[in-house]
Amino acid sequence: MPELDYNTQLEPIKLPEYGRTVQKMVNYCLSIKDKKQRTECAQSIVKILTQLRPNQTNIQNYEQKLWDHLYIISDFKLDVDSPYPPPNPQFIHEKPEPLTYVSNKINFQYYGKNVENIIKVLNKIDNPDEREYYILVTANYMKKLQNMWNKEANIKDEVIFEHLRQISEGKIKLDSNTIQLEKDARMSHRKKFAKQKYQQKGRFNNGKKKY
């Protein structure tokens, strides 16, 4: 019974995406003593690599990348007349610098950073009615996020108002005795705001000359 060759017993593959067959081709290319014939063999291998990935031929410097891969597979021992300079082994094996992640602390995970950013710019709205409208929309959205996060709990409006006050650093204060985060209240306020915008537009059009 012939002995079986296991992958663990064979030479490690330099670039697994090309498989062991390509690596054997490169090893054979290295064994050719004549440089001219060795170069012709390397060119043939590059053509085979191109056929293995025909969808990537439009990539910029694609052919040069294939030659670089050829040098990597040969462990940079390939001595041929390449149309491109061989890559620097130190650059190939050099580990990239660790990424520096921005540490944005989020006080309330269930709201996310976007909601906190929205709350910070609410006070920059000049129109008081418009500002009040967006504060209520944000508060209702915060309650929706709370209910999604805590499905079993019945989140009270006072909790949302307190979180809104904390995130805004005390600049936004809502009274639960006068404001309720309910669908009807939200819709009525939305209609009120839309009506005001419509009246403002009407006053502007009445004062405009028609030709």
Secondary structure in 3-state letters for 10-68: CCCCCCCCCHHHHHHHHHHHHHCCCHHHHHHHHHHHHHHHHHHCHHHCCCCCHHHHHHH
Residue 124 corresponds to which tokens in the numbers above? 């920059």
CB atoms within 10 A of CB 3: 6
Per-position pLDDT tens, the chain of length 211 = 456 655 666 678 888 888 889 999 999 999 999 999 999 999 999 999 888 877 777 788 889 999 999 999 999 999 999 999 998 888 766 777 777 766 667 777 788 888 888 888 887 888 888 988 999 999 898 888 888 877 766 788 888 889 989 888 888 888 878 888 854 334 444 555 555 555 555 544 555 444 3
Q: Yes or no: say if 46 and 66 are a contact pair by the CB < 8 Å rule.
A: yes
Q: Annotate 124-166 with DSSP letters as a single string.
A: T---HHHHHHHHHHHHHHHHHHHHHH-TTS---HHHHHHHHHH
Q: Annotate 185-200 with DSSP letters as a single string.
A: HHHHHHHHHHHHHHHH
- 67 to 64, 73, 85: CA distances (angstroms): 5, 10, 9
Distance CA 73, CA 120 (A): 55
CA angle, 77 as apex, 19 and 8 as ends, to 5°? 40
- Overall pTM surpassing 0.75 (yes/no): no
Distance CA 205, CA 184 (A): 31
